[in-house]
Every structure is written in C-alpha cells, then in structure tokens.
Chain A
C-alpha cells in the first residue's frame, strides 16, 4: 500500500464547476499536510496547508480528518487557470515529505 494515495483522476470539469479531491495516508505519525499544485513542466508550488480545523482560501477549502487519515481539497467555481496537477503532501516531524501521485484537473470552457 502506498503511503499517500490520491484519487486517480483525471478530472475534466466545465468552468464554474465544484470539484473535490481526496487523499489518504497510512502513517499515523504524520504531522503536517499540504496541497501543492504543479503545472506542466514546472515545479510544485504550495497551494495551501491543511489544518485540523479545516481552512479556506478564497475558492479553495482544505480539510483534514486525522481519525480517518484523510485529507480533501474542494475547489469552487473552477477557472481555466485551475487546470494543473494537484499533489497531496504528507510530512513527518523530521521533515520527510511524501507526495501522492497527483490528480490532474482540466477545466474546460
């Protein structure tokens, strides 16, 4: 079993749609959680950290369920510019980061 598993995707949605990505992790000692986005042939960039209480940044909402070892990302009112690969990242307290395989989103006009 992979340490971090994401929805396989790809997700193809029209502009304005709401889309949700899910991620599960196996290491119960994991300390911190992030969503990164990676555009084609570019480096990963932090989208948002994920907190136990849930957090929102504009159209993006991230949630964490430690009991179920589950992380989610919700994107509302999708824009064309949201098309990218979304990577779930789980860190141990030693700074070791494990990436999920990524979920590719394509937003179409």
Chain B
C-alpha cells in the first residue's frame, strides 16, 4: 500500500484563525515532507522530517509550524496566515530522507485564506 492520506481535502480560514493540516502514512517510511504548490507552479519544499526530527526548514515563515508526533503522522499548524498563503499543501513520505528515495505524495489540502 503506497498511500499517503491528508485531511482535510479543502480548508477555508480567516487570517486570525488557527488550523492544522494532517498527514498519515503506514508504509513504515521514516522521512516525511511538506510542500506548498501554487497554481501552475511546481511544488516547493517547506519542511523535511527524518526519524521524527526536523532536518530541513526551507526558511518557512513561523506562521507555519510543523509537528511530527510519531513516525506515521505529520501535522502542519497554521496561524495568522496571509491570503498569499492560499495554495495546495502536499505531504509526501519516503523510506529515508536520502537522495535516491522515491517520494510518495498525498492528495493534498487545498487551502484558501480569506
């Protein structure tokens, strides 16, 4: 089973709201990723977790706060977002956080910030 699930599928939030995106995989992968994708643009890496520890933060604003409670779960906590943060947020996982690993993507959460 090469499935990564994400909830919710769609999210609308105001700039003062706090919300969380959730990602789950049961493939035994030890690396998990958050990407942001704007329309007609490629995914942009935000965070990488390796063995539940944050290994890469691509200078993401602090209004995005990742959390990896265990090896199967990855959350992205959102607070005080801006309208320009509206995008598709993709979660991915791979066996390891190493160069040759295939990443498996979830279906994404479409976020609209009003």
Contacts and interface: CB of A to CB of B under 8 A. Distances in A.
B42 A95 contact: no
- Interface residue tally of chain A, by bracket? 20 to 34
Contacts of B42: 87, 99-102
Contacts of A30: 99
A93 B99 contact: yes
Q: Which of B41, B43, B56, B96 has the most chain A CB atoms inside 10 A of its CB?
A: B43
B41 A101 contact: yes
B45 interface: yes
Interface in A18-72: 30-32, 34, 42-46, 49
B97 interface: yes
A95 B50 contact: yes
Nearest to A92: B99
Given A31-B100, A32-B100, A95 B56 contact: yes
B98 interface: yes
Given A96-B48, A101-B41, A32 B107 contact: no
Given A32-B100, A101-B42, A95 B94 contact: yes
Interface residues of B, number: 26
A95 B43 contact: no
Contact of A93 (B50, B56, B98, B106): B98
Interface in B83-114: 90, 94, 96-108
A74 to B, nearest CB: 21
B31 A43 contact: no
Q: Which of A32, A91, A98, A102 has the most chain B CB atoms inside 10 A of its CB?
A: A91
Contacts of A44: 43, 90, 105
What 3 A-B pairs are tightest by C-beta distance, nearest first?
A31-B99, A95-B97, A99-B42
Interface of B: 31, 33, 41-45, 48, 50, 55-56, 90, 94, 96-108
